[in-house]
Amino acid sequence: MTRPHLVTGARLQYDEVREEHVLLVPEGAVRLNPTAAAVLELCDGERSLDEIVDTLSARYEGSDLREDVEGLVDGLTQKGLVVDAAA
């Protein structure tokens, strides 16, 4: 995975009713914790995985988020919800 982006038709949204972030996909939704939502907001097909990790690590005061980011992106790639813009 070099430049992740959301698959066609996937939409990030904040659900005011349940007070949580969701990734809406055809006929489904994935509930997201705030970190996951922050990662997916950066999956724009332009940033590399390294850039996403750096941006978030800086935002969260230097904590290393590489494992979290990679785990999330891998999981959603397996499900076909994140794809590689470079592929």
Partner 1 sequence: MRQPRPFTLIAELSYQCPLHCPYCSNPLDIGAEKYRRELETEHWIRTFREARALGVLQLALSGGEPMLRRDLVELCEGSRDAGLYSSLITAGTLFTRERAEALKLAGLDHVQISIQSPNAEENDRIAGNRSFEKKIAAARFAKELDFPLTINCVLHRQNLDRIAELLDLALDLGAQRLELANTQYYGWAVPNQEALMPSWEQLRRAEEAVQHFRERVGPKVDVLWVLPDFYEELPKPCMGGWARTAMVVAPNGDVLPCQAASTIPGLEFANVREHPLEWIWSESDAFARFRGTDWMQEPCRTCPLGRQEMDFGGCRCQALRLTGDAAATDPVCRFSPHHDRVVSIRESAQTDEFVYRTIKRPVRI
Nearest to 56 by CA among 36, 85, 81: 36
Residue 11 sits in the site that holds partner 1 (CB under 8 A): yes
Please state at what angle helix 49-59 crosses helix 66-78, rounded to 10 degrees.
130
Q: What x/- string results for residues 45 through 84 when contact with partner 1 is judged by CB under 8 A? A: --------------------------------xxxx----
The one-letter amino acid code at 7 reads V
Q: Quick one: DSSP state of residue 81?
A: S
Q: How far is the CB of 62 from partner 1 (least distance, A)?
A: 34
Of residues 2, 20, 28, 59, which one binds partner 1 by CB under 8 A?
Answer: 28
